[in-house]
Amino acid sequence: MSAKAIAVEIPLNTCACGTCHEAVGPKAIYRPGHDARHVSALLGGLINTQQDGKPVTKALINAEAKALPSEALRAKFTRAAERLVAKHAEADAQEVRAE
């Protein structure tokens, strides 16, 4: 008697980073390192908002953070966004002092 190999398709999810669309395992949300890529993509959106002359508010940061699946990632994004806002405010203050 010979054993037949049975092909079993394991359903794969897509990475949630939003930039690669690569497959991940059934229990994974991201490919390795792509959680940081997702945070960076969201920060890029905030940078574009600032460059468009619109204010980046706490409400906007919190709304963007809701796209992240874990509390740890939301906290990481929030800290990075607050640093970004502070850096932008410091640059604005230096421009005013230079004038």
pLDDT digits (tens, 9 = 90+) for 29-79: 999 999 999 999 999 999 999 889 999 999 999 999 998 999 999 999 999
The first and second tokens of residue 74, run together, are 């939301």
Strand partners, 24: 13
Query: What percentage of the chain's residues is helix, strand, coil (to nearest 5)?
Result: 55, 5, 40
What pTM was computed for the model? 0.77
How far is residue 81's CA from residue 34's CA, in Å, rounded to a whole number?
18
Burial class (CB in 10 A: 0-12, 13-18, 19+), 84: middle
